[in-house]
Amino acid sequence: MPQSTESITRQVQHNCHVADARHAKEYGLCTYLMKMREYYRWEQGLGFDAPLAMDEVGEWLTRREQLWSGLGASAFQSLEIDGHHYDPFDVAAINDRLLPRRLVYSGGLGSAGRPHFFLAELERLERAEGQVRVVSGRELARDLASPAAMMCEPYLFVRRESLRRLLWEKLESWRWRRPDNALGRAFACYDFDRRLAASLERMTDAEMELVLLHERGEHEAGRRLGAGWNDMLVALAGTAAELMARAVRDHLADCIETLPALARMESPPSIHFYVGNLAGMRRELFPALQQGYDRWLEDADPSFLESLAREGRAHWRRVGEEMLMLFRERGAEAGGVIGRRLAEWRFGAPR
Kindly report, residue by residue over 205-243, the tens digit of the pLDDT. Answer: 999 989 989 989 998 999 999 989 999 998 998 899 999
Do 206 and 307 lie in one domain? The reply is yes
Answer whether 135's CB lies under 8 Å from 160's CB: yes
- Which residue among 129, 164, 199 closes a domain? 164
Q: pLDDT at position 1, please? A: 64
Would residue 172 count as lying in a domain? no
Would residue 38 count as lying in a domain? yes
CB under 8 Å to 319, separation ≥6 — which residues?
A: 248, 345
Find, among 159, 21, 9, 22, the residue nearest to 81 by Cα: 9
Answer whether 46's CB lies under 8 Å from 165's CB: no
Answer whether 308's CB lies under 8 Å from 289's CB: yes
**pTM more than 0.85:** yes
Q: What is the mean pLDDT of the chain?
A: 93
CB under 8 Å to 206, separation ≥6 — which residues?
A: 267, 269, 270
SS3 content of the chain, % helix, strand, coil (to 5): 65, 15, 25
- Which residue among 164, 197, 216 closes a domain? 164
User: Looking at the 3D structure of the chain, how many domains does it have?
Assistant: 2
Strand partners, 122: 136
Do 158 and 58 lie in one domain? The reply is yes
Average pLDDT over residues 281-288: 95
pLDDT at 5 over 90: yes
For residue range 289-320, list pLDDT tens digits in order: 999 999 999 999 999 999 999 999 999 999 99
Would residue 175 count as lying in a domain? no
For 305, counting Cβ atoms within 10 Å of its Cβ (0-12 exposed, 13-18 middle, 19+ buried), the class is buried
Find, among 83, 74, 59, the residue nearest to 20 by Cα: 74
Say how many Å lie between the first and final Cα of the chain, rounded: 64
Find, among 258, 176, 252, 163, the residue nearest to 214 by Cα: 258
Residue range(s) defining the domain that contains residue 60: 5-164
Answer whether 282's CB lies under 8 Å from 251's CB: yes
Average pLDDT over residues 237-262: 95
Confidence at 273, pLDDT banded by 50, 70, 90: very high
Would residue 309 count as lying in a domain? yes
Would residue 171 count as lying in a domain? no
Do 12 and 40 lie in one domain? The reply is yes
- What letter does residue 142 receive in the DSSP assignment? E
Answer whether 102's CB lies under 8 Å from 115's CB: no
Do 99 and 244 lie in one domain? The reply is no
Do 207 and 85 lie in one domain? The reply is no
Which residue intervals of 24-53 are DSSP H helices? 29-44
Would residue 55 count as lying in a domain? yes
β-strands 131-142, 155-159 pairing: parallel
Do 153 and 15 lie in one domain? The reply is yes
- Distance between alpha carbon 216 and the CA centroid of its chain, in Å? 14
Would residue 176 count as lying in a domain? no
Q: pLDDT at position 351, please? A: 58
Do 302 and 223 lie in one domain? The reply is yes
**Cα-based angle 24, 26, 31 (whole degrees, multiple of 5):** 80
Do 291 and 145 lie in one domain? The reply is no
Do 284 and 321 lie in one domain? The reply is yes
Q: pLDDT at position 2, please? A: 78
Do 144 and 190 lie in one domain? The reply is no
Alpha-carbon distance values, 191 to 136, 165, 187, 254, 327 (Å)? 26, 17, 8, 28, 48
Would residue 268 count as lying in a domain? yes
Confidence at 341, pLDDT banded by 50, 70, 90: very high
Do 190 and 338 lie in one domain? The reply is yes
- Which residue among 164, 192, 209 closes a domain? 164
Cα distance between residue 137 and residue 127, in whole Å: 18
Do 124 and 202 lie in one domain? The reply is no
